[in-house]
Structure 1
Amino acid sequence: MAVQTALLLIDVQNGLFDEVYEEEAAVLYILVELLERARNQQVPILYIQHGGGSGHPLEPGTPGWQIHPLVAPHSEDIIVHKSASDAFYESSLHDTLQSLGVTRLVVTGAQTEYCVDATCRRAASLNYDVYLVADGHTTSDNGKLTTAQIVAHHNHLLAQLAHPTHPIRVLPTTDIAF
């Protein structure tokens, strides 16, 4: 059976990405590059859109909830809504990937230590081959660690997780092949 790859963009929403911040702008431009490459190779693209509760920065219908315009979906792209850090939890993600025949995920987005981490771990447990784009995810400083420290820590941690058949591979954008 042929490997079918999909590109996942987790929570690339206005409420989490601000081009004023260097790290966030850099990730957005990496995502633009990955989107172009994926579209050129007709790879399915799935946007995971988080919906927070009333007053949350990602409250559905608010400007913060909208997908960032630099990486806006095309009509053929798929948007999956979620309400938990794990993008598979009570969402249509797994069923959608199964219907597309996807066995390999290229993962990008925000927030590194929450949604990106939880989704990568769950995907591996669901027997997907997971490729985390090392320079394609971001978060915010948390008062203890900087964004760069959090991203570096999770890149190292996720690459070290023990999984006998589906380890998480962490690669820079330049090494991602669709």
Structure 2
Amino acid sequence: MSKDTALVIIDIQIGMIDPDNAHHQEALAHMQTLLERARAADVPVIYVQHSGPKGDWLEPGTERWPIHPAIAPQADEVIVHKRASDSFHATTLEQVLQDKQIKHLVVAGAQTDYCVDTTVRRATTFGYNVTLVGDAHLTYTTTILSEAQIIAFYNDTLHGFTTDEATVEVKPTAEVIF
């Protein structure tokens, strides 16, 4: 990948990781690998941190709100705060990417069916090519679909997603080289 690439980690906060969920632990380990590779290649790392309203499980200042310590940001890494599923909506993300001259996003994080999906699709409308790391995003089982089914669906749906300006590819962590 070229120097116009950034690693974007969405909503990996203490409250989003279930310590008893094996997939959450695997996805977190993959994100640690991605961070090591990005930092070694001097690729910018951008964290997106969700801030819920008062009483929400991701309310700022509560014990569930901080970025998970397993992937803690370094002092020079940017944290973008958001209040919606779309990491671009009413945030500084677009400006940060422009300032860093980024054209390609490598995306990992939570929640597959909300913030990851919305942000990946929206990134393409801004002209960013996206690599969604297929084994480094997570969600929760619903009443009709398992977590694995949801992740498989979005990996399949988003791979090859294209706008006039950009496209999405899905790769496993093992194939992501910065």
Alignment correspondent of 1:97:
97
Paired position in structure 2 for 1:88: 88
Distance in 1, Cα, partners of 2:119 & 2:52: 17
CA contact (8 A) 1:3 1:104 kept: no
Q: Tell me, what secondary structure is at the counterpart of 1:74?
A: coil
In structure 1, distance between residues paired with 2:20 and 2:80: 27
Higher mean Cα deviation, 160-169 or 88-97? Answer: 160-169
**Contact 1:3/1:103 (<8 A) preserved:** no
Contact preservation (8 Å) 1:131, 1:169:
yes
Match of 2:130 in 1: 130
Matches within 5 A, 1:47-66: 47-66=47-66
Deviation at 1:160, TM superposition (A): 4.1
Partner in structure 1 of residue 170 of structure 2: 170
Aligned position for 1:21: 21
SS of equivalent to 1:15 = helix
How far apart, in 2, do the equivalents of 1:5 and 1:95 lie? Answer: 15
Distance of 1:116 and 1:62 partners within structure 2: 23
Residue 154 of structure 2 corresponds to 154
For residue 64 of structure 2, give the secondary structure of its aligned residue in structure 1: helix
Per-residue CA distance 1:40-67 (angstroms, 9 max, x = gap): 0010000000000111110001111111
1:164, distance to aligned residue in structure 2 (A): 3.7
Letter in 1 for 2:32: V
Once structures 1 and 2 are overlaid, which stretch shifts more, 32-41 or 13-22?
13-22
What are the equivalent positions in structure 2 for 1:102-113 lying under 5 Å apart? Answer: 102-113=102-113
Spell out, residue by residue over 1:125-163, the C-alpha distance to the aligned partner (whole angstroms, 9 max, x if none): 100010000001000001110100000000001114342
Cα distance per residue 1:88-147 (max 9 Å; x no partner): 000000000000010000000000000000000000110001000000100000111010
The answer as to whether partners of 2:126 and 2:165 remain within 8 angstroms in 1 is: no
2:140 matched residue in structure 1: 140
- CA deviation profile, 1:18-57 (whole Å, cap 9, x unmatched): 2221010001100010000000001000000000011111
Q: Which runs of 5+ in 2 are unaligned?
A: none
Write out the 4+ residue segments of structure 1 that deviate beyond 2 Å after TM superposition: 160-165
Unaligned runs of 5+ in 1: none
Query: Residue 64 of structure 1: SS of its match in structure 2?
Result: coil
Task: Write out aligned runs for 1:3-82 (5 A).
Answer: 3-82=3-82
Q: Structure 1: how far apart are the matches of 2:20 and 2:6?
A: 29
Q: TM-score, normalised by structure 1?
A: 0.96
How many positions carry a matched residue from both structures? Answer: 177
